[in-house]
C-alpha cells in the first residue's frame, strides 16, 4: 500500500494555527524527523521512503533487516502525509513531483502560492486536526 502521490500539492490544513512554515521544535518527534529528512534533501525521497526511514530509525531496524522490514511495513495501510503534523500544526505544504518525490514549502512563500495556481498540479488539503 502506497502513500505516494504524483504531481500533487498537499496544502497546510485549513485549521493549521500557523500562517508560515515553522520547523518543529521537539528533537526526535515524528514531525521533527520528517522535517529534517525532507528539508535536508528536497525531492530526494517519496513519502513511502520517508515514512519507512522514520519507522526504521525509531524501531532500530538493522541494515541487514531493512529489506524484509520495508516489505512488512509497506504491507500495512498507514496514513499519508495529509495527516502529517507538518501540514496540520507547523504550516508546511508538501509537493509530490512527477516521480512522487517530495519537498516542503512554507505557507508564506511565493513557491507555495505558485503551486496552488499550477494547472499541472492537483491540490489537496491537509487533514484537519479537529472535526
90 is a domain residue: yes
pLDDT band with cut points at 50, 70 and 90 for residue 131:
low
1 is a domain residue: no
Q: Which of 78, 97, 79 is nearest to 38 (CA)?
A: 97
Query: Domain containing 108: what range?
Result: 8-125
Question: What is the pTM assigned to this prediction?
Answer: 0.94
pLDDT of residue 1: 83
More confident of the two residues 73 and 131: 73
Please give the tally of structural domains in the chain.
1
**Cell 498540479 sits at which residue?**
121
pLDDT band with cut points at 50, 70 and 90 for residue 121:
very high
For 5, 16, 48, 54, 113, the CA distances from 60, given in Å and listed in that order, are: 27, 32, 18, 10, 38
Q: How far apart are CA 72 and CA 55, in angstroms?
A: 11
pLDDT of residue 51: 97
112 is a domain residue: yes
Are 103 and 77 spatial neighbours (Cβ–Cβ below 8 Å)? no
Per residue in 41-55, pLDDT tens? 999 999 999 999 999
Amino acid at each position: 500500500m502506497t502513500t505516494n502521490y504524483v504531481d500533487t500539492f498537499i496544502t497546510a490544513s485549513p485549521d493549521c494555527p500557523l500562517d508560515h512554515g515553522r520547523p518543529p521544535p521537539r528533537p526526535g518527534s515524528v514531525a521533527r524527523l520528517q522535517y529534517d529528512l525532507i528539508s535536508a534533501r528536497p525531492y530526494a525521497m517519496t513519502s513511502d521512503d520517508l515514512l519507512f526511514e522514520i519507522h526504521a530509525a525509531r524501531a532500530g531496524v538493522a541494515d541487514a533487516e531493512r529489506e524484509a522490514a520495508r516489505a512488512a511495513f509497506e504491507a500495512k495501510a498507514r496514513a499519508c502525509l495529509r495527516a502529517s503534523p507538518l501540514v496540520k500544526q507547523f504550516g508546511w505544504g508538501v509537493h509530490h513531483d512527477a516521480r512522487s518525490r517530495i519537498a516542503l514549502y512554507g505557507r508564506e512563500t511565493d513557491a507555495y502560492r505558485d503551486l496552488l495556481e499550477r494547472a499541472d498540479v492537483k491540490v489537496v488539503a491537509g487533514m484537519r486536526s479537529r472535526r
